Structure 1
Amino acid sequence: MNAVIEEEKSAVESEVPLQEASADTWRRKYRLTDRANNPVDECVQDTFKRVARVLADVEAPEVREHWYERFVYAMKKGAFPAGRVLANAGAQAYKPATSTINCTVSGTVFDSMSSILDRVHEAGMTLKAGCGIGYEFSTLRPKGAFVGGAGATTSGPMSFMDIYDSMCKTVSSAGGRRGAQMGTFDVQHPDVLDFIRAKRENGRLRQFNLSLLINDAFVEAVKSDSDWPLVFPLTQAEIDHEGIDLNDESRVLWRDWTVTDGYVVHDETGFVACRIYRTIKARHLWDMVMNSTYDYADPGFILVDRVNEQNNNWFCEDIRATNPCGEQPLPPYGACLLGSINLVKFVKNPFTGNAFFDFTEFREVVRIFTRMLDNVVEINGLPLEKQRAEIMRKRRHGMGFLGLGSAMAMLGIKYGSDDSVILTDEVSKTMALEGYRAGLELAKEKGPAPIMEEEFEITPKMMRQRPELAKAGFEVGDMVKGKVLWARFSRYMQKLTTQDQQLIRDLSECGCRFTHHTSIAPTGTMALSVGNNVSNGIEPSFAHSYWRNIIRPGKKSKENVPVFSYELLAYRHMVNPEADVSPDAESGNVLPESFVTADSIAPLDHVKVQAAAQKWVDSSISKTANVPTDFPYEDFKDIYLFAYEQGLKGCTTFRFNPEAHQGVLVREDDLANTTYVFKLANGEMVEAKGNEMIEYDGETHTAANLYDALKEGYYGRH
């Protein structure tokens, strides 16, 4: 017993002390308090125990204590259920209307005022429960199109997005947590140029992340510098009224479209007749996208054909939207819970020549964590019946990791190097295989996800999508169990077959507890708080010493809080207390070469690391390729094409641009090198560096945050 106590004591003493920014974030985001704001959780360990207890209570009474102990162990080893679980699990006595689910996607927004407003109502209820939500808006007819029922023209999708933006802003203000939304938009839609330019207006759509739905045909048109038609479906009434010839290829194209009801559909192909509104050069449209993301960090892109091709539920879902950060492509009313494992917990002998990653311990934690996340489904707290039905039927969860960049620094591996790609591949593959092995055992113990036992009719479209169905002896009209279509014919599971054939055979016979297992989320506040600022998700550390902009209730602009990377704190704690982040640090105090930062890594190397993980991730990955402000556009403009060639499902970039936005994370040198100009009421112009402090309206602000708050219109509204 004494040896165990000494070992635990040693482990506690070796822990890197929690920095104040991390402790503060835990208190504000995840610590449970009563209605008088008195703490229920006294410390982070209390938060872990609260979550472990409510998840263990899902189990049969005779094994609850066993699993409670295992869940506490896993959380101490860095298995962190995502923010909604940490904040809301076991909190029903204090906030009963909240959910433990992070990710949802709206029901389809049909092209009618009734549908648009119904989805606004549903979204408001979803955001109030603490869930993020995504929508596709290219289902709405373009600006200027005639609306027969109203006898007028429509204002177009972007104007309706403004309604959702205002709703989210209002709900998040009332609920104390910033709402999160994703708006996706088809690259074929006539209003696509307006979508690309939307965030150029100060304060517009700031409650949204934006992503284009890009199909394979568009990418090929870009490569060949071909024309690209912008189209929208035709109703029979339009065809009759205008005398449109459906065989006139100069006016009509037959395209695959999200919605078919109300439009003219080809009997054999299922394609929809679409009016050609205009034709532009695909390369010109691509350049507009890249210019916008270079200057404004939006839109990102989602390769929608690849998302659906690689979807485990390919036989029953058509995915057109994602959660707010893009790591969860979901069908209408789809929902998914998240969780991430802190990889620094498995680095042994850090900062030495004997450093290694403990895969044995990692496998054990993955197996326990898989059970934990599956139990979250039972306490989902989703506000809409359609959301609850969807998550119970498929039991999706998204296990990922955080701290990859920090772990690499501790192992002596430079992020973006060949060794970093190998490590990312091995970690992701191990998580996938161990997760599905646990999913098989859970199916045997508790039963598979209901969709696994449902029967689906083989359609002509399914036969076109999967020629191997015919080779296996299936024909159109055959009824096949979901678990067979899922395990034997999904592209992702076919990749896992190369690693463990028996596992896939067993899954096709028994089914699995869930349809999806892995997803790499950004983990921002979780990495900062309970992770002591390990690197977010799959990212390298943003910087090793920087500022984080946070919203303080009652403060009129955002507040700058100093933060340090976990690896810097660990290196100072374990190796050299005098280690310095400055480029002119004294000899002996210089950080190891593995201490790279996000913008010191070539964008293409960011993509290579993401591609290594995506191969084994069955959902998607939230990844941002950060580039310096002065990074040349010519070197930037083809990064999305490179991501396409590397097999990614999506990609996002960020370049600090003080004229456009003030990011959550800011480097000291960016602030010091940026001059902001304020125009006073008397017409006088005042200049200030971004890091200068300004007294204004009874408060002290950094020049950068004050400028941003006034420009974006959120000053004094927190």
Structure 2
Amino acid sequence: MKQPTPLRDLPPLPLQQASELIALSKYFLPGEDLDSMRRRLAQALARCEADPGAWEERFYHTLHYAFPAGRIMANAGAESFKPNVSTINCTVSRTIEDSMAGIMGAASEAALTLKAGCGIGYDFSTLRPRGAQVSGAGATTSGPLPFMDVFDAVCKTVSSAGGRRGAQMGCLEIGHPDIEAFILAKRQDGRLRAFNLSCLITDDFMQAVRNDAEWSLVFPAFPDEMESSQLVWRRWPLHDTDYTVNERGQTACRVYRTVRARDLWDLIMHSTYEFSDPGFLLVDEMNRMNPLWFTEHIRASNPCGEQPLPPYGACLLGSVNLASLVKNPFTPQAQFDFEAYGEVVRTFARMLDNVVEINGLPLPQQREEIMRKRRHGMGYLGLGSAMTMLGLRYGSPESVAFTDKVTQRLAVENWRAGLELAKEKGPAPILTEEFEITPALLALRPELAHDGYAVGDRVPGRVLHARYSRHLQRIAEVEPQLVAELAEVGARFTHATSIAPTGTMAASVGNNASNGIEPSFAHSYIRNMIVPGEKAKRAIRMDSYELLAYRQWADANVDPDNLPDAFRGTAAGTDPREHIDVQAAAQRWIDSSISKTINVPSDIAFEDFKDIYLYAVDNGLKGCTTFRFNPEVHQGVLVSEADLANTVYEFQLADGSRVQVPGNAQIEYDGGTYTAANLYDALKEGFYGRL
């Protein structure tokens, strides 16, 4: 085997104090620093290799440019400290059966999953709507929302026993009869706070919105409802053999009532405008672009939306720090080191594939899923920081072109590594299996018939994956020979890329490089951080990676409020549509999805705001989330100092009197000192009793 060679050395940029504080609380083991953490991870992930010594050094050098996700950094090689935790960030619950046993069984599995440190997503569309009859009980159901409260309580209870806050995603089909209640659920103080919420948006619904048409709210019809009810055919998760399903995989659904599609769309938009929830997932687009389109029907994602997954699906994550690969920053000679980047991605893909072997997932179904498919989701952080260092304004046409190029390279090098690993270690087991061609598959991919396949034929998974998935067809546009070999050999993994939010990772071990696909929030700002043992978020000042780099490499004392033009591409300085342009350029090459939050001005008009989402749909995004600062609702992790200072919070004291203070005022309370904004938020959400 060819001896791996180390990458070039990374110029040292010591962690700022706030970054080190976050890393100590989240990722470092007792006595560790950044370098010793890298050594631990390199050793742990090289154990799976035939020659661990050779790969350990290669992995160590790669970890100067890339970071495995938080669960890997915190838990890989840490068995003596915490033997019962997982290295997997992303999971999705089993399909929740519409019965008390099914719901409680799913809640029990969720508790074990959360205890292991994994995030989890659910599709609650399988639960019949409020007021529907419960078979054999002589009663009506309460609908999905009260059962979501149960999962919310489970998450809060389990996470309180560990060092990481639990994370969940709750999804509901846009055609479910309880969709309005779902959209409005988080307007109640403290309700579903352990959840992110997303509506599952279909192509048919968006067409109804555009046509100003009526939209039917439905639920699968039971046999005794087939004759007496108005019916429509919809794609619905299958969980009851009594339902009637046609050859296209659609279920006969009873129409409960009909609404104007635009009214329902506006309800989502108003709620998102005021409360930053719910987001939406374009469920048809997720399934259309899924490389395992022939054997999965996805109905939910992990908590941040970057990993759409099937029931019991699991995926591990990792991110390349693009900012660390910029050469000669802030000069006319600035360039991105694509050669080193390709080497990092290929080696990192091998490292992430090794994480599958030490997954630590608590449920046998989850372990079977990840071993059979070997999903990973490699993305990047520091895109916005890299753009600044290259002299590109985030959202400009030049930055969009850079995003396209850097993401295409991410995808191609992952699949190149996937092919070589398959030759060395074998492909993902599912790609060695054969699948029967059904009428439903022919309807999804008419080109199968054009190539001579007929109903009943059996085709290897590697062929359906490489030759007929929309994602790999796109890769074939630039690397046809690579995809042809993948169809012959198979890939080591079925999915390779997604872009996670990386908020804590970027802020800590990334030295506050811009997180995920985002621009930097600002170049000097306050971060609201959850600190174990404290009952309100702590406000910590942080500088951006690019500002730190500018100070070091330019050898200059700089004023963060008076920076060169290269620094103007921040979250607040980017038009919302430019955010989507960048995301769309990346999504073209990402086989899973992208977690992105579009920060919009607090004074944006509603009509302008809601058009952002239509622009996102038109540009092929799989999901979209916005954040508009609203002090009456919550404090985000990142808040601009101007918003904080200009917002007045009112507190009622024990004697009944009231006091008003600006959001950035420091208040001593219950043995701690907090900003007025963070204390107000904690009180409102029920972390404290009344003052």
Mark yes or no: TM-score above 0.5.
yes
2:248–2:443: 8 Å Cα contact kept in structure 1? no
Q: Secondary structure at the match of 2:277?
A: coil
1:401–1:520: 8 Å Cα contact kept in structure 2? yes
Deviation string, structure 1 residues 242-284 (Cα, Å, up to 9, x no partner)? xx436xxxx2222221125244314544432222111111001
- 44, 56, 77: which one pairs with 1:54? 44
Q: How does 1:541-690 map to 2 (within 5 A)?
A: 541-575=520-554, 577-582=556-561, 585=562, 590-690=563-663
Letter in 2 for 1:535: S
Whole-angstrom distance in 2 between the partners of 1:472 and 1:321: 32
1:215 positional shift: 0.4
2:395–2:569: 8 Å Cα contact kept in structure 1? no
Change (3 A) 1:48 1:698: closer
The TM-score, its normalising length taken from structure 2, stands at 0.97
1:22 aligns with 2:19: yes
Structure 1, unpaired ranges of 5+: 1-6, 34-38
1:3 is matched with: none
Whole-angstrom distance in 2 between the partners of 1:255 and 1:366: 40
2:284 is matched with: 305
1:579–1:591: 8 Å Cα contact kept in structure 2? no
2:190 is matched with: 203
2:46–2:52: 8 Å Cα contact kept in structure 1? yes
Whole-angstrom distance in 2 between the partners of 1:548 and 1:302: 28
Q: Secondary structure at the match of 2:599?
A: strand
1:580 positional shift: 1.6
Letter in 1 for 2:13: V
Whole-angstrom distance in 1 between the partners of 2:239 and 2:85: 35
Aligned-pair RMSD on alpha carbons? 1.5
Whole-angstrom distance in 2 between the partners of 1:196 and 1:464: 33
1:159 is matched with: 146
1:70 aligns with 2:58: yes
Q: Secondary structure at the match of 2:161?
A: helix
- 76, 84, 90: which one pairs with 1:103? 90
Q: Secondary structure at the match of 2:565?
A: coil
Whole-angstrom distance in 2 between the partners of 1:55 and 1:696: 45
1:576 positional shift: 5.3
2:393–2:568: 8 Å Cα contact kept in structure 1? yes
1:670 positional shift: 1.1
Deviation string, structure 1 residues 68-97 (Cα, Å, up to 9, x no partner)? 011001001x11111100000011111010
The TM-score, its normalising length taken from structure 1, stands at 0.93
1:529 positional shift: 1.1
Structure 2, unpaired ranges of 5+: 1-6
2:272 is matched with: 293
Letter in 2 for 1:521: A
Q: How does 1:327-476 map to 2 (within 5 A)?
A: 327-476=306-455
Whole-angstrom distance in 1 between the partners of 2:393 and 2:232: 49
Whole-angstrom distance in 2 between the partners of 1:549 and 1:398: 27
Change (3 A) 1:120 1:475: same
- 457, 462, 473: which one pairs with 1:494? 473
Whole-angstrom distance in 2 between the partners of 1:110 and 1:177: 29
1:699 positional shift: 2.9
Greater alpha carbon shift after TM alignment, 401-410 vs 255-264: 255-264
Whole-angstrom distance in 2 between the partners of 1:237 and 1:628: 52
Deviation string, structure 1 residues 376-398 (Cα, Å, up to 9, x no partner)? 00000000000000000000000
2:68–2:318: 8 Å Cα contact kept in structure 1? yes
1:580–1:591: 8 Å Cα contact kept in structure 2? no
Q: How does 1:198-277 map to 2 (within 5 A)?
A: 198-239=185-226, 244-245=227-228, 251-259=230-238, 261-277=240-256
Change (3 A) 1:505 1:550: same
Q: Secondary structure at the match of 1:111?
A: coil
Whole-angstrom distance in 2 between the partners of 1:47 and 1:547: 27
Count of aligned pairs between the two proteins: 684
Whole-angstrom distance in 1 between the partners of 2:259 and 2:45: 54
Q: Secondary structure at the match of 2:272?
A: helix
Q: Secondary structure at the match of 1:637?
A: helix
Q: Secondary structure at the match of 2:319?
A: strand
Whole-angstrom distance in 1 between the partners of 2:133 and 2:338: 61
2:203–2:284: 8 Å Cα contact kept in structure 1? yes
1:90 is matched with: 77
Deviation string, structure 1 residues 4-44 (Cα, Å, up to 9, x no partner)? xxx99xx67x42231101011111101113xxxxx2x2x21
1:682 positional shift: 2.9
1:284 aligns with 2:263: yes
1:130 aligns with 2:117: yes
Deviation string, structure 1 residues 158-207 (Cα, Å, up to 9, x no partner)? 10000000100011101121001001110000000001101101111110
**What is the aligned-residue identity percentage?**
61
1:145 positional shift: 1.1
